[in-house]
Amino acid sequence: MKLALILNVIDPKIGGVMIMGDRGTGKSTTIRAIADLLPKIPVVKDDPFNSHPTDVDLMSDPVQQLLSEGQSVNTSTMKVPMIDLPLGATEDRVCGTIDIEKALNEGIKTFEPGLLAKANRGILYVDEVNLLDDHLVDILLDSAASGWNTVEREGISIRHPARFVLVGSGNPEEGELRPQLLDRFGMHAEIRTVKDASLRVQIVEQRSQFDQNPYNCIEEWEDKQQVLKAQILEAQSLLPEVNIDFSLRMKISQVCGELDVDGLRGDIVTNRAAKALAAYSGKNNVDSEDIKKVIILCLRHRLRKDPLETIDSGTKVTQIVDKIFD
């Protein structure tokens, strides 16, 4: 789970993480904790969509218009946004709303940004994603596919960039996730309750220490946190230089072919994740060990479900990987 989240911070194009597992295993805690590791990003000052000052793909239309007219924009930096999407959120809260009254009376397009606007260039987290209403799932699918959110009301249309890393968590016992949405997640981690008594005691003790004195606890781990943050920043700068050999790319596609994975997302995400892991390890070239560490996370949720199959999908991936790579 931690590795999948860190790799998505290094390369947001991996496409997010779906974390499924038992109740009370620290899924939400871990996801919300990743916010402290996120670096600062350059943004256009006072822009509600966190527009990038130079990258056209990550700019809102008004900023693009200003630059095309030769005007300059003020810039600043902000922490990568981490936005929670509540299960009971309305469509207007998620997408944003247009003030129709102002538009009709004054002829001005006034847009009240929603959660998708705030999450642009950041992380959008949906807890209990398998309980999300279908109409909100459709909105997420549209935005994740196009990278833009379009709001249309009474013949008035406004759009803005909505490129975010989608992170979801849930308990499989509470309901299945729609296959279209599941396929949008780049990686899928399955969490099980720890059975080892000594580990359980360690977790309980750490939790008790945190409850008694949170600030001491944060201070105690501050150095390790800073080391991890620096490691992520180094990996982000190294990522463009990382290469993956053609023979390894062939093996990844062979695995996907043998597992009968639909589409090519599995191949693309595995290549990206392996590169991100190599960068995280400080290497310029991907090796087979990097691929083995990430391939289950990238393919487990893409296999066709057979109700009569007793074997776990992760084990199935491991068997094919061992056969092809060894």
In DSSP notation, 26-40 reads: SHHHHHHHGGGGPPE
Global pTM reads 0.87
pLDDT for 307 equals: 58
- Selection from 67-71, 146-150, 219-223 with the highest mean pLDDT: 219-223
Given this model, what pLDDT does residue 6 score? 93
**pLDDT value of position 145:** 77
C-alpha distances (whole Å) from 286 to each of 75, 198, 236, 246, 291 are 36, 36, 15, 11, 8
Please give the span between the terminal C-alpha atoms of the chain, in angstroms, as a whole number. Answer: 26
Task: Give the pLDDT score at 106.
Answer: 72
151-209 pLDDT, tens digit each? 887 777 788 888 888 899 988 888 778 777 888 889 999 888 889 999 999 999 999 99
Q: Cite the DSSP H helix spans in 11-114.
A: 27-33, 61-68, 91-95, 100-106
Q: Which residue out of 121, 184, 265, 302 is catalytically annotated?
A: 265
pLDDT surpassing 90 at residue 109: no
Q: What is the pLDDT of residue 298?
A: 92
pLDDT number for residue 276: 96
Structural class in CATH, domain 240-325: mainly alpha
Average pLDDT in the 235-263 region?
Answer: 92
Give percent above pLDDT 70 in the chain.
96
Q: What is the pLDDT of residues 273-326, one digit of tens each?
A: 999 999 999 999 999 999 999 999 999 888 877 655 556 677 888 888 888 887
CA angle centred on 189, ends 28 and 166, rounded to 5°: 60
219-242: per-residue pLDDT in tens?
988 999 999 999 999 999 999 999
- Residue 175, Ramachandran bin (φ over 0: left; ψ between -120 and 50: alpha; else beta): left
CATH 1.10.8.80 residue ranges in the chain?
A: 240-325
Average pLDDT (32-46) is 85
Band (60; pLDDT cuts 50, 70, 90): confident
Most confident segment among 29-33, 118-122, 213-217, 271-275: 271-275
Instruction: Give me the pLDDT at residue 107, please.
Output: 67
Q: Delimit the CATH 3.40.50.300 region(s) of the chain.
A: 2-39+80-191
Identify whether 265 is a catalytic site residue.
yes
99 has pLDDT over 80: no
Query: Please, are residues 258 and 246 in contact by the beta-carbon 8 Å criterion?
Result: no
Angle between helix axes 265-280 and 288-299 (nearest 10 degrees) is 130
CATH topology of domain 2-39+80-191: Rossmann fold (3.40.50)
